[in-house]
Structure 1
Amino acid sequence: MIQISVIIPMYNVAQFLNKCIASVYQQNLEEDSFEVILVDDQSPDDSKTIAANLIQNHSNARIISHPVNKGLGGARNTGILNASGKYLVFWDADDWFLPGMLAQLFDVAEKYAVDVLEFGAQGIGEKNKIVYTESLSSDKIYNGIDYYKKYRYMDSACNKLYNRSFLLQNGLLFVERLYIEDYEFNTRVFYVAQKVFGIKLIAAQFYQSPDSITRNVDNRRSAKMRDDIAKVMKLVLDFFKKQPNKETKQVSEYFEQRLSYLTATLFFQLFKSRARYIAFENLKSELIKNDIFFINHRIYDLKKELFRNLFLKHFYLFRICRYI
């Protein structure tokens, strides 16, 4: 039985593949118990050639090539639909496993028969400096909404083991060609999930590239990020409105909190870019028009919560703030 499928999208990641793939084969697992699916998303560099050389002696690894670029979400979907493992791990090529961790994660997932298992991770900056550590454990199995209400782990898809049957049975795939696709995907995942568990085991390290989507200051990419956050808000709201239990307090609070966080994030992005006041007014008008201006729910991110209470509740401060 294939226990775990490791899904690795490839797009301009040639320099990272050696370390990433090598880490997958340091997991105390027999090669016939897991598989590695590398998805070439029409990468313009030599990622595909390098990957082919790295896996040539591993019969459990293969490359699937897209005829057209589908983005990170599309590459992950290809992995989901072609995987055989009981559990899935979504890996970015600039991430790596710590030795022996996959076997431990599989044992925990099997013990509790989870839909989703969250595990700890560290962010690694230049010169191998640890820039953050996320590590916590839940005291028992929860459904997704109750777990989310009690525990704040990571919105990333990369610190989780997902039950493949759970995803397929609930039609849980990523939106293609969209930034912050993890947030939208996990919003649906945690709403549906009945068995979520978290462990403090630090199983992975994520390279914090200065050129990443969330840290890049390029105006074009920043504008796409803001556009895609608004798209995700519409998708989340539309999904919420379709749910038969949307009127219950627990469900409405879950979705409103998710939408409030994105609202604050949108304005915070503008604030950091020192946009003119008219940009804040235009954004507010656009969100109100689309029924996605959510500012009345507490946010668990302390920085964004302060920003919400200070600026979004007192909008005139954007006009008088000397930073914009």
Structure 2
Amino acid sequence: MVTETRHPLLSVVVPVHGVEAHLHQCLDSILDGLDAADAADVELVAVDDASPDRCGELLRAYAASRPAVRVVTLPHNVGLGLARNAGLDEATGRYVWFVDSDDWLPPGSVPAVLARLRADRPDVLLLDHLRVHHDGRIEEDASSPLLRGVDGCVRLAERPELLRVQHTAWNKVVRRAFLTELGLRFFPGWYEDIPFSHPLLIAAERIAVLDRICYRYRQGRPGAITSTRSDRHFDAFDQYDRLFGWLSAARPDEAGLRAELFALMVSHLLVVVGNDHRMPADLRRPFFRRVARHYRRYRPAGGYHRPGGVGGLKHRLVAANSYPAYWMLRAAHRIAGRLRPARPAPAAAVSVEPAAMPAGQSGALAVRR
């Protein structure tokens, strides 16, 4: 008699590197509190990306008492994107969710995700999240309103604003066979989410939205990419090359998509060049020059919709490759900010990179990707 192997509905892939202090919180938030039916439908694939601390030891001890947990140990550090690929290769679930090991899920998130997957069977399920700062301050993402009022499954053509939802892997649960059909993988380098997240939404026939906070996104952790000054932020240019290469091959006639992605790219790169937590001062000018080259390379023939206000002015300065004017604008904006009277902080401040914001809307700049 042949016994059919039952695969779980959901594989949660967790790349792990240098997060000893946060690891148990992340893993417990995925598996704790599940009833028997949901527990049987979840597997956790943790990837020890040659972590320099005790993460590998902690993972092995954790998996020893939990059959739903499997640990993949990499012989040397490969970075977040390739570690996700290693976990994806071991995943057996019909859907995969990439969760970063310094973040965590609010109670009830996994059962809510499972219920929506069973009900709608989407290609991609979008989730809402909150940003959590080291001082306990919580911020809603400015793209969160874009997730409101989506019933059942839609295509991007029906809800084009969904392309402006935060372009991360962890706010999307993806049908694994759909990934295989697309041949989509993570590339090496920083900003690996760029050529992964956008193609998912563009190619999906069935996009569902779970209008619920299912993810807590930790801000400002030492060692996080967006809290690290480095020339590796230049990796973003290669990732956008890959995105536009995919777009040219897969959707060569969709000028509207190209214009939308172009606007998002320029806004995102302006966030990076202007962020003191990421960009060393001596690299700001060469980074800006690279932004201007990407502007010329990918500017749509039919033009695009610039954001309003200061953001739109920065776009014009990039188009003119005018770093001195950009520098003066940035300096004046910072002086004005210091002179502005302090106002009481709202209960839930909004902070998001403009790359994830609706066109024409401005807001505070995020400090993590």
Q: What TM-score do you get using the length of structure 1 for normalisation?
A: 0.84
Q: Name the structure 1 match of 2:18.
A: 12
> How far apart are residue 167 of structure 1 and its match?
0.8
1:233, 1:292 within 8 Å by CA — same for their partners in 2?
no
Give CA-to-partner distance per residue, 1:69-128, whole Å, 9 cap, x none: 221111111111111111111111111111222111111122222111111111111243
Q: Counterpart in 1 of 2:107?
A: 99
2:270 corresponds to 1:261:
no
1:136-158 deviation digits (Å, cap 9, x = unpaired)? 33424222355343564321111
Residue of structure 1 equivalent to 2:242: 235
262-271 vs 247-256, which deviates more?
A: 262-271
Q: Does 1:191 align with 2:202?
A: yes
Within-5 A mapping of 1:119-134 = 119-133=127-141, 134=144
Aligned-partner SS, 1:21: helix
1:251 aligns with 2:257: yes
Report the residue type matching 1:187 in the other structure. Answer: H
| Shift in alpha-carbon separation, 1:307–1:217, aligned structure 2, 3 A | farther
- Provide the secondary structure at the position in 2 that maps to 1:96: coil
- 1:32 is aligned to 40
Distance 1:43 1:214, change over 3 A: closer
Count of matched residue positions in the alignment of Structure 1 and Structure 2: 316
Alpha-carbon contact 2:295-2:319 (below 8 Å) kept: no
SS in 2 for 1:144: coil
Question: Is the counterpart of residue 89 in structure 1 residue 97 in structure 2?
Answer: yes
Rounded to whole Å, the distance in 2 between the matches of 1:224 and 1:323 is: 24
Query: Hey, what does 2:117 align to over in structure 1?
Result: 109
CA separation of 1:306 and 1:249: change in aligned 2, threshold 3 A: closer
Task: Say if 1:9 and 1:93, in contact at 8 Å, map to a contact too.
Answer: yes
Return closer, same or farther for 1:299/1:100 CA change in 2, 3 Å cut-off: farther
Aligned to 1:76: 84
Cα 1:67–1:215 shift into 2, 3 Å: closer
The 5-angstrom pairing of residues 135-146 of structure 1 reads 136-140=147-151, 141-144=153-156, 146=158
Equivalent position SS for 2:270: helix
Q: Cα–Cα, structure 1 residues 292 and 126, in superposed 2: closer, same or farther, change >3 Å?
A: same
**TM-score using structure 2 length:** 0.75
Where structure 1 has 5 or more consecutive residues not aligned to the other structure, the ranges are none
Q: 1:99 to 1:224 in 2, by over 3 A?
A: same
Change in 2 beyond 3 A, CA 1:247/1:294: closer
Q: Distance in 1 between matches of 2:164 and 2:101?
A: 25
How far apart, in 2, do the equivalents of 1:82 and 1:68 lie?
A: 18
Instruction: Give 1:213 shift.
Output: 3.8
SS of equivalent residue, structure 2 residue 139:
strand
Aligned to 2:168: 156
Q: Please, which moves more after superposition, 246-255 or 51-60?
A: 246-255
> d(CA) in 1 for partners of 2:168 and 2:83?
16
Aligned sequence identity (%) = 18
- For structure 2, the residue ranges without an aligned partner over 5 or more in a row are 1-6, 333-369
Once residues 288 and 300 of structure 2 are traced to their aligned partners in structure 1, the CA distance between those partners, rounded to angstroms, is 15
CA distance in structure 1 between the aligned counterparts of 2:309 and 2:279, rounded to whole angstroms:
13
